[in-house]
Chains A and B, each alone.
Chain A
Amino acid sequence: MGPHYQHLYDMLSKVDGYIYPNEIELNWSILIVLYPYITGLVAGAFILASLERVFKVKVLKPTYTIALLSALAFLLVATMPLISHLGKPMRFFEIMITPHFTSAMAIFGFVYLWYLMVVLLLEIWFDYRRDLVLWSQEKKGIMKHVYKILTLGVTDISPNALKWDDKLGYALTVIGIPSAFLLHGYVGFIFGSVKANPWWSTVLMPVIFIFSAMVSGIALVMIIFMLVNYVRKQIIDMKCLDMIARFLLVALILDFALEGLDQVHRIYEAEESFQILDLLVKGKLTYTLFLFQWGLGMLVPIVVLAYLQIFRSNLRVRKILYFISAFMVLIGIFFMRWNVVIGGQLFSKSFLGFTAFKLKLVGTEGVGMAAVWIVLPCLILLFLFWLLPPWKRHPEEVAGETEP
């Protein structure tokens, strides 16, 4: 008996009812939970940044660069869980060179590259170009050359050039908003278009994914913004924080309404699959769905954030409550992805039974590997903060003069 099957023999006794014999093994595990989670963080963080830039919510200015760099750090890692879960990881590039266009998965590589190269990297570059030029003049040693390379040889920082930076950056953000929607709505479509799976197959899936992405991205930037200020011992810009909290509340309410609509629709229509899905949510998903996703991840933060909108408690309490709420939201959205991805595979497509899922600690589909893909973007973000510190940028006198 090979090691490949040993755990499946253990699973055999945990099958409940009837499942097709090939269904005992869950095909998509925690790494595929992380994939929509991480892409969602990216899309959400970007949308928060665009609020400042395009919709002129000037009070969010202190988070603009932080949000962009966070989006970049997570986007750089977004494909890694996907590639590392493949049976043949070394063949991943085939999706780029011979995409099969009837597949919803085929253009992910292109959507991803579009977003990374055209939207995020370019926008950050336009935003930082003046600082890169100035740093390359001020710094000494190797860093001087690093910044020089990062300017890509465009060292013109005349008012006219900076005006163009600003215009192009603005244009990119305008393109970036639909791109962020595309990136994550598309991830939702990958699941929502699987007609064989009634838990996934809903037209609302891309929309729910977009709103949950905004929720998680805003919560992430909120936490990073608070941590950055805490570590740098700076007094946090409370107006900005209050505004982020307000947007988080709005996004949470919209997301909750959409998810509620989805469930109401399922219950009211009560199609062929209803009974098995009913058993699923009341059985195997009880804790992850009712407690973590909707209870602690949504309803409690909604109540807390709404309370803080009405009754402005003192700064210290408010900060702590914001932090806890944002953290709970991040956990809640993780469980939302979990309930979609894992939940959708626990019941048999015969609708007659359930398989079991046991999360492994080690191995390519284990918790250890998942932790790597969560910690790595945090390390990348630290590196980006070191390389492109948002707080050491040059005051914008020059740029200010050139603004029309």
Chain B
Amino acid sequence: MAREEIKSRRDFLSRAALVAGGLFISGGISPFKSMLYATERKSTKGPWYAMGIDLESCIGCGRCADACKTENNVPREPFYFRTWVEQYTILNDGSIHVESPNGGIDGFTQKFADAEIFKSFFVPKMCNHCAKSPCTQVCPVGATFESPEGIALVDQTYCLGCRYCVQACPYGCRYIHPEKKVVDKCTMCYHRITKGLLPACVEVCPKQAKIFGDLNDPKSEIVKFMKDHSWQVLKPHMNTEPKVFYNQLRAEVR
């Protein structure tokens, strides 16, 4: 009897040790799972927001960049942009010239003679809200994160200002706010879209060159845009899966 008690106790202890050891080992392995961040594709239900940009329509007025600064209190200095417009000029000799004076807010001038120019066009830029965003991947404290709707956001009350995310973004979409000393970026006007409004840059575009919508809603404007146009994303080889889709994007654009 006593021997059986001892046996069952020993049994219990060895099982407890097994469970504890298992927990300990899985606890040790789980951080390594985080290495797989960029290898897995997300599946989503509910709204999954994206932006379409029709380069055919963009006239480079810069109102989107201006409205963004007003709406989101972005510093007016020409070093801080959540969205900006680039003017690409490709000359007959194949050379590429890009400009974005004050992000395009004050408009553009063309410094090359018409005869020299092969092709000239405008490219509005903004955060691509990548599905595999390198910026949220590298944040050491998780202050920058992805909302359930697929928007890359920053908790500025939590950000250390270490700037690793600024380095990790291939598109130059992040900056350190000069007064707040933490990172700042496009939120796709999260405060507006969650109330059913459009992002400020979309709202003010006189040519409807920016199309906002939910990729999971088959009737949305963005899904229609993607069906009707042969779109491309910026730097697809980075495998960041951007959610800003450009119509008529030329290979020269980076």
A104 to B141, CA, bound (A): 11
Q: Do A5 and B141 touch (CB < 8 A)? A: no
Pairwise interchain contact A20-B171, C-beta atoms closer than 8 A? yes
Interface segment among A24-32, A171-179, A244-252, A260-268: the answer is A24-32
Return the chain B residue nearest A200 by Cβ. B167
- Judged by a CB distance under 8 angstroms, whether B226 is at the interface is no
- Cross-chain contact A5 with B178 (CB below 8 angstroms): yes
Question: Cα distance A99–B139 when bound, in Å?
Answer: 9
Verify if A395 is at the interface (C-beta below 8 Å from B): no
Contact A25 B79 (CB under 8 A): yes
Of B79, B103, B178, B181, which is in contact with the most chain A CB atoms at under 10 Å from its CB? Answer: B79
Residues of A within 8 A of B159 (CB): 87-88, 91
User: Is B158 close to A, CB under 8 A?
Assistant: yes
* B-chain residues with CB within 8 Å of residue A348 when the two chains form the complex: 172
A86 to B166, CA, bound (A): 13
Interface residue? A4 (CB, 8 A):
yes
Q: Tell me which residues across on chain B come within 8 A of A138, comparing CB atoms.
A: none
B88 to chain A, nearest CB (A): 9
Contacts of B86 in A (CB 8 A): 18
Given the known interface contacts A28-B167, A196-B168, A196-B170, the answer about A103 and B79 at a Cβ–Cβ threshold of 8 Å is no
CA distance A368 to B237 in the complex (A): 42
A22 touching B173, Cβ below 8 Å: yes
Q: Which of B152-176 contact A (CB under 8 A)?
A: 158-164, 166-176
Neighbouring B residues of A22 by C-beta, 8 Å: 79-81, 166, 172-175
Q: Find the residue from A19, A82, A99, A102 having the highest chain B CB count within 10 A.
A: A102
The answer to whether B140 has its CB under 8 Å from any CB of chain A is yes
B160 A92 Cβ-Cβ under 8 A: yes
Asked if B254 and A105 make an inter-chain contact with CB atoms under 8 angstroms apart, the answer reads no
Cα(A12)–Cα(B31), bound, Å = 43
Interface of A (DSSP majority class): loop
B-facing residues in A89-107 (Cβ within 8 Å)? 91-92, 94-95, 98-107
In the complex the two chains form, is B238's CB within 8 Å of A196's CB? Answer: yes
Q: B67-106: which have CB < 8 Å to A? A: 75, 77-81, 84, 86, 96-100, 103
Q: Which of B75, B79, B162, B174 interacts with A105 by CB under 8 Å?
A: B162
A2-B178, A352-B98 known; A100+B142 contact, CB < 8 A: yes
- Alpha-carbon distance A81/B211, docked complex (angstroms): 44
How far, in Å, is B118 (CB) from chain A's closest CB?
17
B82 to chain A minimum Cβ distance, whole angstroms, is 9
Residue of B nearest to A348 (CB): B172
Q: Which residues of B contact A108 (CB under 8 A)?
A: 140
Bound-state CA distance A2–B76 (Å) is 11
Alpha-carbon distance between A92 and B159 when the two chains are bound, in angstroms: 10
User: Which of A86, A103, A105, A197 has most B Cβ within 10 Å?
Assistant: A103
Q: Is the Cβ of B161 less than 8 Å from the Cβ of A88?
A: yes
Task: List residues of chain B with CB within 8 A of the CB of A24.
Answer: 79
Q: Are B140 and A21 in contact (CB under 8 A)?
A: no
Q: Which chain A residues lie closer than 8 Å to B37 at the CB level?
A: 102
Set A28, A87, A190, A195: member contacting B170, Cβ < 8 A = A195
Q: Pick the contact of A99 from B141, B162, B169 — CB < 8 Å?
A: B141
Give chain B nearest CB distance to A287 CB in angstroms: 24
Q: How far is the CA of A345 from the CA of B181 in the complex (A)?
A: 19
Residue from A92, A195, A345, A349 whose CB has the most chain B CB atoms within 10 Å:
A195
- Report chain A residues within 8 Å CB of B164: 103, 105, 190
Q: How far is the CA of A98 from the CA of B239 in the complex (A)?
A: 27
User: Which of B138, B139, B170 lies in contact with A349, CB distance below 8 A?
Assistant: B170
User: Which chain B residue has the least Cβ–Cβ distance from A19?
Assistant: B172
B20-35 residues with Cβ-Cβ distance < 8 A to A are 31, 34-35
Within 8 A of B (CB), among A113-169: none
Interface assignment of B210: CB less than 8 Å from any CB of chain A: no
Chain B residues with CB under 8 A of A88: 159-161, 181-182
Determine whether B52 belongs to the interface, using a CB cutoff of 8 Å to chain A.
no
* In contact, B161 and A197 (Cβ under 8 angstroms): no
B138 engages A101 (CB within 8 Å):
no
Contacts of A92 in B (CB 8 A): 160
Closest A residue to B172 by CB, please name it.
A20
User: Is B243 located at the chain interface by the 8 A CB criterion?
Assistant: no
Q: Is B129 an interface residue (CB 8 A)?
A: no
Q: How far is the CB of A255 from chain B (nearest CB, A)?
A: 25
Judge whether B99 and A91 touch: CB under 8 Å.
no
Task: Judge if A23 is at the interface, Cβ distance under 8 Å.
Answer: yes
Instruction: Give the contacting residue for B160; candidates A94, A102, A107; CB below 8 A.
Output: A94
A194 in the interface (beta carbon within 8 A): yes
Contacts of B138 in A (CB 8 A): 102-105, 194
> B137: nearest residue on chain A (CB-CB)?
A102
State the Cβ distance, B84 to closest chain A Cβ, in Å.
Answer: 5
B31's closest neighbor in chain A, by CB?
A101
Q: Which residues of A contact B173 (CB under 8 A)?
A: 20, 22
State A82–B81 Cα separation when bound (angstroms): 26
Chain B residues with CB under 8 Å of A106's CB are: 140-141
Give 8 nearest A-B pairs by CB, closest first: A87-B161, A20-B172, A87-B181, A100-B142, A196-B170, A101-B34, A4-B178, A18-B98
Q: A102-B138, A194-B168 are in contact. List 8 more A-B contacts (CB 8 A).
A: A18-B99, A25-B176, A86-B160, A86-B161, A87-B176, A95-B141, A100-B141, A196-B167
A-B CB contact pairs (8 Å), 15 listed:
A5-B75, A5-B77, A12-B78, A18-B86, A20-B100, A21-B79, A22-B172, A27-B176, A87-B161, A95-B141, A101-B31, A103-B139, A108-B140, A194-B134, A196-B238
